[in-house]
Structure 1
Amino acid sequence: MRKELTVLAASAVLLGATALPATAIPPLPMDATITTNPDGTVLLNADTDPVRPVNTTPQPSTTPRPPRNTSSSSGTGTRPTKTKAQVREEMSSQIRLTKPKIGASPCTTDTGACEATVGVPVWLWVDEGDGQLPSDSATASAGPFTISAKAEVVQVKWSLGDGQSTVCSGTGKAFEPSDGWSTPDCGFAKGWTKPGTYTLTATYVWRVTWTGDETGTTTQAMSSTRDVTVGELQSVVTDH
C-alpha cells in the first residue's frame, strides 16, 4: 500500500498541482514502465530511441518505366514509307522546266529594243541558237518505290502577235548580218505585214516522262515574250 501511495504522489509531482490541458500532454510510449526505488523515488522508464515520424511526402517511383513504343501501326518497328504519289511529287520538284530566252533579228539593235520593218524576214532562235534544246532528269526513291523522270523540250512555238505562228523543232539559227534577206531556218520569210506594236512570243513545249514504279507522260508549256515595234520601209527619192 505504501508503494502505491508513493507512486501516486510521484505522479502528482510530475504532472504538477495544476493539470495541463489534455492536448498539451504528450502520450506515453507504449513500452514505458514505472519503477520504485528502495528509497521511495519513482522512475519513469521509456524507450530511448523514439519511433521516427512517418514521412508522408510522396517519393518518386523507382520502378523503371516501360520503353516507349516506336513501332508503326503495321508492327514492323519502322516509320511508314511514302506513297508512290509522294515519291513522284518529290521527284517532280527536282525537275527544272525553264522558259525560252528569245533571240530575234529585230532585237539585235544597239539599244536592245526590238524594231522591225514590214516585209523584212524575221529570224528567230532560242538561247544561243546552237541547236541544243534544254533537258533535265531526276530520280527519287523511298521505301520500295523508285521513280525516274526525263524532261525535254520537243517543240518551240512562235507567234508574231499579228495572227502568224510557226513551230520549230530546234533552237533556230542566230541571225548574222551576212544572212541579209535570206529565208531563216526558223522564222518568217516576209515578217510582219503591217506597222504597229506586237508581242512576239516563244513557247517551249516540255514533255515529261515517268518510269519505274509509276509511269506516264505529260506536257508543260513555258513562254517568254518581247514587244516589237514594226515600221514601214521608207523610200528615199533623190534628184538626178
Structure 2
Amino acid sequence: MHTVKPRRGGTVIGVLTVACVLVASPAFAARGPGGSDGGVKTTGKKSGNAIESRITYSGTGSGSGGGAAAGNVTPVGDWTPPACWYEPVSAKEFQKQVEGQYNQVVNDPQQPNYAKSATGQFRDIYKDGKYKNYNLDKAGEGNWWVAVQDPARMDHPDAFTCSELPFWVKNGDTPAVKSAVTPQILAELAYNRIILPNTKITLAPKDTTKVNLPTWAWLDRATFKEVSVTATLNAGGLDIQATTTAKPVALKLEPGTEDAQTYPASGDCTINDDGSIGEPYAPGKADENPPCGITYLRSSGGGTFKLRATITWEISWTGTGGTGGTLPDGAFGGTQDVTVEEIQAVNR
C-alpha cells in the first residue's frame, strides 16, 4: 500500500491510497476559524484545482473575558467533533477539480509512476467508466458528494474514515453514508470553532496572599457570557444551518499545590443565579470562608504557585427544521501566578 500526499506549497491534490489497483477518494479541504478581530467568520471557496468546503461559519467569536488570551473549547470526555464528512459538489465543479488534479499529477516529474497511474484510474471512473463525463448531462438532477477533511485535524486518525469514493446523489435523496452533512454535523463542526475567553479570575487578596488566609475567587457576570457559532451550508441543493452555543456553568480551581484547601472542597464553584461565579470579597469578611476560593497552607517559598482556573461550558445547538439538542460539555482554562507568604509575627 502506498500513500501519496500533496507537495507543500501546491494546490490540494488529496490523498490517494493505492492497494493493487484500488484508488481511494481525493479529500477536499474545509476552512477553519479566522478573522482579524479574533472572531469566527470564514467562507468556503474554490482555490486553484481544489474545491474547499462550502460550509461558512460566523458568530460571536472570542466573546469577552478577563484578558486577550483565548482558545478553542475542549470536549469533556472521549467525544470529538468530526474530522471528516461528506458534502455536495456540482457536476461542473467536480469535473474541474478531478481534471485539474489529474493534469497536475501527471505533469509533475516529482510524482512517482504509481501516483500518476492511480490518479488516472480515479479519473477514468468518472470520465468514461462507471460514470460518463462526470454526469454533466444530469447536472440539474443531482450532485456529487465528496469526502471533506478539516485541515486543522489532518493528523487525526478520524480524518481518513470518510473513505467512500465520490458518489452521485439525486436531488431529494438522502446520501447513504454515515457522515453526510446534516444540521447536527454542522452543529458539531461549529463546536470545534467556538473560541472562548481566557479564565483569569479575580482574587482577593490579589496576586499575593498569606498562609492560612482565605483567598476569595470570583468571575463577574459581565466577564463571561454565552458564545455561539453558526455553521451554514448553501450548496448542492442544500440550505441548512446550525447554531452551537456555549454557556458557562462552573469554575474549577486547582491551587497548584497539594498544600491547599479549596472552597468548596471539590474545587468546583457553580454559577450563581445572576450568571456570576463566586462572590467578590467585601470588608468585614476576612474571617469568613469564601463560597469560591482557596486557603494555601504553606508559602510558595519565594516563588509562585500556578493556580489553574477552568471553566466548564454547557453546549447546546439548534438547527434547520426544528432540530437541536445538546453536545458534550466543553472546558477551557488557564493559569495565573499566586505568591503565598508566611505571616510575620513579632514577639515582644
Contact in 1 for aligned 2:211/2:342 (Cα 8 Å):
yes
Which residue does 1:156 correspond to in 2?
Answer: 251
Question: Residue 219 of structure 1 corresponds to which residue in structure 2?
Answer: 329
Post-superposition offset of 1:153: 1.1
Q: Report the equivalent of 1:87.
A: 186
Look up the match of 1:119: 212
- Match of 1:134, as an amino acid? K
**Which residue does the alignment assign to 1:146?**
241
Residue 312 of structure 2 corresponds to 205
Residue 198 of structure 2 is matched in structure 1 by: 99
Aligned equivalents of 2:326, 2:221: Cα separation in 1:
30
User: Does the CA contact (< 8 Å) of 1:158 and 1:201 recur in 2?
Assistant: yes
CA, structure 1 residues 123+83, in 2 after alignment: closer, same or farther (shift >3 Å)? same
Count of aligned residue pairs for this structure pair? 160
Query: Quick one: structure 1 residues 211 and 119, their matched pair in 2 at CA, closer, same or farther if it must change by over 3 Å?
Result: same
**2: CA distance between counterparts of 1:101 and 1:79?**
49
Matched, 1:179 2:285: yes
Cα displacement (A) at 1:86: 6.7
Whole-angstrom distance in 2 between the partners of 1:175 and 1:195: 22
1:102/1:228 CA distance change after superposition, 3 Å: same
- Taking structure 1 as the reference length, what is the TM-score of the superposition? 0.55
Q: Which has the larger radius of gyration?
A: 1
- Counterparts in 2 of 1:80 and 1:90: CA distance versus 1, 3 Å: farther
TM-score (ref. length: structure 2): 0.40
Q: Is the 8 A contact 2:200 2:336 kept in 1?
A: no
Per the TM alignment, residue 80 of structure 1 is displaced from its structure 2 partner at its CA by 6.2
Instruction: Give the drift of 1:203.
Output: 0.6
Q: 2:247, 2:337 → 1: CA distance?
A: 27
Give ranges in structure 1 of 5+ residues lacking alignment: 1-68, 108-113
The aligned amino acid for 1:83 is V
Q: In the superposition, relative to structure 1, how do residues 236 and 130 fare at CA in structure 2: closer, same or farther (>3 Å)?
A: farther
- What is the SS of the residue equivalent to 2:205? helix
Residue of structure 2 equivalent to 1:192: 296
Matched-pair contact (CA < 8 Å) for 2:216–2:281: yes
Identity %: 26
Asked whether 1:229 is paired with 2:339, we answer: yes
Cα deviation for residue 185 of structure 1 reads 2.5
The 2-side partners of 1:200 and 1:158 are apart by 7
Residue equivalent to 2:5: none
Query: How far apart, in 2, do the equivalents of 1:137 and 1:80 lie?
Result: 31
How far off its partner does 1:78 sit?
8.0
Q: How far did 1:131 drift?
A: 7.6
1:208 Cα offset (Å)? 1.6
Deviation of 1:151 after TM superposition, in Å, equals: 0.8
Distance 1:176 1:125, change over 3 A: same
More strand by share: 2
1:59-88: CA deviation from partner (whole Å, max 9, x where unpaired): xxxxxxxxxx85874622787689337734
